[in-house]
């Protein structure tokens, strides 16, 4: 079972999906440069063993491809959607027991120092170093625990800004008119991989990412009561940061987001750190954020696609698959694969509108035939180029929501949606001929000798 970061790193290394960088690197921009280069080539995860000024190694790009996400969830790319959907039907609440932290390094009170952790400064123009892969654990309304990933700017040795959109769980807790006490949180760096993946997805207000992570892992996560807050932490993590949000704000940003564009700066909730504790020789897990493709665009909402696909298939049995390409930033384009030959007149149009309900953020929704590989953007573009009459096969839905980080939209974010039927229609004259299967097998055997 892959229940911790170190096991995942070992699996990725065995599968030739990770390389160790032994040369010394600086925190300012150099790690980002590596991430940019490997992201552009669907390259491996990286483990930087020597970080200038620190003894902790930094792991990045671990979830940068669907294959690595599938490995983390102990499934395959081909079966991951069905696997995820079946698992999350039965959430598993965490087991909360006292854990022996006696061999961990603990910082409290005056010893707290966020600068002892190797936080990268990612892109030129960023407001400073940011935590980008911390899973924020908070109490959930109605019971259970919420897990979400928020960017966190380091302000001082014991404070950091936490950027959160208005609809995010912790923001709702903080701004609730019924709140009387500070909101207590714990931040897990290098948590169980299933928790990182679940926290990267959007779920309903009353759904617990922590319990969903247990289901994905196939076993309830192990948690321990917090040292200084009334929120437990996942003990299979590398680093835990505890703190409180009391309503204070401080200027946060700018920051280059997953869209590839820099956000401005503005007041964000201020977290006051009450404790930091970590394993004796921890690995700092970080996630590159910048122009897509990037790790955050790949892992974000992987589980959400399984849920949306299930909803669509309940109403439209012709649906075979759904994907949001990381190359477009994942929030902005959705591709639906269908068995169009079974579609009744008008069904594709209804399906396009239905996708806007199941996945509200995409600005572009494209339906393609089941001979199109929805995970190859070039296949999707080929279908658009050869199976679409723009006037006949597309229409707009005005004044709909999109990502709050869409740089083209106003505040609150509103957009139109372009809905495209890229399936073959009556009278389609295209015919695809390819070599025989025997010819392919012969060529594969010969080429294998040259690798």
pLDDT single digits (tens) 185-223: 999 999 999 999 999 988 877 889 999 999 999 999 999
- Bridge pairing between strands 152-156 and 222-224: unpaired
Q: Are 329 and 290 in contact (CB under 8 A)?
A: no
In this prediction, residue 301 carries a pLDDT of 74
In this prediction, residue 376 carries a pLDDT of 93
- Here the tokens at position 76 are 């395959």
Residue 168 has pLDDT above 90, yes or no: no
Question: What mean pLDDT is reported for the chain?
Answer: 94
Q: What is the pLDDT of residues 374-428, one digit of tens each?
A: 999 999 999 999 999 999 999 999 988 888 888 886 666 788 999 999 999 999 9
Q: What integer is the mean pLDDT of 53-67?
A: 97
Residue 209 to residue 119: CA distance in whole angstroms: 25
Residue 38 has pLDDT above 80, yes or no: yes
Phi, psi angles (nearest 5°) of residue 122 = -85, -50
Give the whole-number percent of the chain exceeding pLDDT 70. 99
In this prediction, residue 434 carries a pLDDT of 86
DSSP state of 97: -
In this prediction, residue 62 carries a pLDDT of 98
Domains and CATH numbers, the chain: 5-299 (2.30.110.10), 302-422 (3.40.1670.10)
Residue 167 has pLDDT above 80, yes or no: no
pLDDT-derived band at 121 (thresholds 50, 70, 90) equals: very high
Burial label, 341 (beta-carbon count in 10 A; 0-12, 13-18, 19+): exposed
Q: Are 413 and 362 in contact (CB under 8 A)?
A: no
Predicted TM-score (pTM) of this structure: 0.92
Give the whole-number percent of the chain exceeding pLDDT 90. 80
| Closest listed residue to residue 222, CA positions, set 249, 197, 241, 195 | 195
DSSP for 278-317, written as a single string: E-SS--EE----SSSS-HHHHHTTHHHHHHHHHHHHHH-T
Q: What is the pLDDT of residues 78-110, one digit of tens each?
A: 999 999 999 999 999 999 999 999 999 999 999
Residue 323 to residue 306: CA distance in whole angstroms: 9
DSSP for 267-281, written as a single string: EEEEEEEEEEEE-SS
DSSP state of 344: P
In this prediction, residue 409 carries a pLDDT of 65
Lowest mean pLDDT among 49-63, 111-125, 324-338: 324-338
Residue 451 to residue 447: CA distance in whole angstroms: 7
Residue 400 to residue 362: CA distance in whole angstroms: 10
In this prediction, residue 359 carries a pLDDT of 87
Residue 290 to residue 120: CA distance in whole angstroms: 13
Residue 228 has pLDDT above 90, yes or no: yes
In this prediction, residue 205 carries a pLDDT of 77
- Bridge pairing between strands 135-139 and 183-189: antiparallel
In this prediction, residue 304 carries a pLDDT of 85
How many helices (H) and strands (E) would you count in the chain? 13, 23
Residue 393 to residue 348: CA distance in whole angstroms: 10
DSSP state of 4: S
Q: What is the pLDDT of residues 300-335, one digit of tens each?
A: 878 888 889 999 999 999 999 999 998 888 789 999
Lowest mean pLDDT among 59-68, 170-179, 213-222, 391-400: 170-179
Q: What is the pLDDT of residues 230-283, one digit of tens each?
A: 999 999 999 999 999 999 999 999 999 999 999 989 999 999 999 999 999 999
């Amino acid at each position: 079972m892959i229940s911790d970061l170190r096991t995942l790193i070992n699996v990725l290394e065995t599968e030739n999906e990770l390389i160790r960088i032994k040369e010394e690197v600086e925190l300012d921009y150099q790690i980002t440069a590596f991430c940019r280069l490997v992201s552009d080539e669907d390259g491996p995860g990286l483990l930087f063993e020597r970080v200038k000024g620190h003894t902790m190694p930094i792991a990045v790009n671990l979830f940068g491809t669907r294959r690595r996400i599938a490995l983390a969830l102990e499934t395959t790319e081909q079966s991951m959607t069905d696997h995820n959907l079946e698992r999350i039907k039965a959430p598993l609440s965490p087991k909360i027991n006292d854990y022996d932290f006696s061999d961990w390094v603990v910082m409290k009170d005056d010893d707290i120092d966020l600068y002892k952790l190797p936080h990268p400064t990612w892109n030129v123009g960023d407001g400073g170093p940011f935590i980008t892969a911390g899973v924020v654990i908070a109490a959930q309304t109605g019971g259970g625990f919420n897990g979400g990933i928020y960017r966190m700017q380091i302000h001082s040795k014991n404070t950091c800004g936490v950027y959160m959109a208005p609809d995010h769980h912790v923001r709702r807790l903080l701004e609730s008119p019924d709140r009387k006490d500070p909101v207590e949180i714990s931040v897990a760096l290098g948590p169980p991989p299933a928790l990182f993946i679940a926290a990267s997805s959007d779920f309903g207000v009353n759904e617990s990412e922590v319990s969903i992570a247990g289901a994905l892992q196939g076993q309830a996560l192990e948690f321990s009561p917090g040292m200084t807050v009334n929120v437990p932490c996942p003990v299979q993590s590398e680093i835990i940061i505890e703190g409180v949000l009391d309503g204070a704000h401080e200027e946060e940003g700018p920051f280059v987001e997953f869209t590839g564009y820099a956000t401005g700066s503005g007041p964000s909730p201020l977290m006051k750190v009450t404790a930091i504790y970590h394993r004796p020789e921890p690995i700092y897990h970080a996630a590159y954020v910048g122009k897509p493709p990037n790790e955050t665009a790949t892992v974000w909402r992987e589980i959400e696609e399984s849920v949306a696909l299930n909803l669509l298939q309940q109403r439209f049995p012709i649906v075979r698959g759904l994907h949001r390409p990381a190359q477009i930033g994942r929030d902005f384009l959705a591709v639906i694969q269908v068995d169009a030959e079974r579609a009744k007149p008008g069904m594709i149009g209804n399906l396009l509108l239905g996708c806007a309900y199941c996945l509200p953020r995409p600005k572009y929704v494209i339906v393609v035939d089941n001979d199109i590989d929805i995970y190859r953007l070039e296949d999707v573009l080929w279908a658009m180029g050869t199976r679409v009459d723009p006037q006949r096969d597309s229409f707009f839905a005005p004044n709909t929501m999109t990502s709050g980080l869409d740089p083209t939209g106003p505040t609150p974010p509103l957009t139109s949606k372009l809905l495209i039927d890229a399936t073959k229609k009556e009278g389609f004259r295209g015919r695809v001929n390819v070599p025989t299967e025997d010819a392919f097998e012969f060529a594969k055997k010969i080429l294998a000798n040259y690798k």
